[in-house]
Amino acid sequence: MLFWLKFFTSILLFTLVFFNLSLNNFMSLLLTSEFIVILIFYIFIFNSLLLNLQWLIGFSFIIVVLAGLEIAMSFLILNI
Q: Per residue in 30-64, pLDDT tens?
A: 777 778 778 778 877 887 777 777 777 777 777 77
One-letter amino acid at 5 equals L
pLDDT at 1: 60
- The pLDDT tens digits for 9-31 are 788 878 877 777 777 777 777 77
Identify whether the C-beta of residue 7 lies closer than 8 Å to the C-beta of residue 13.
no
The vertex-54 CA angle with 53 and 59, nearest 5°, equals 100
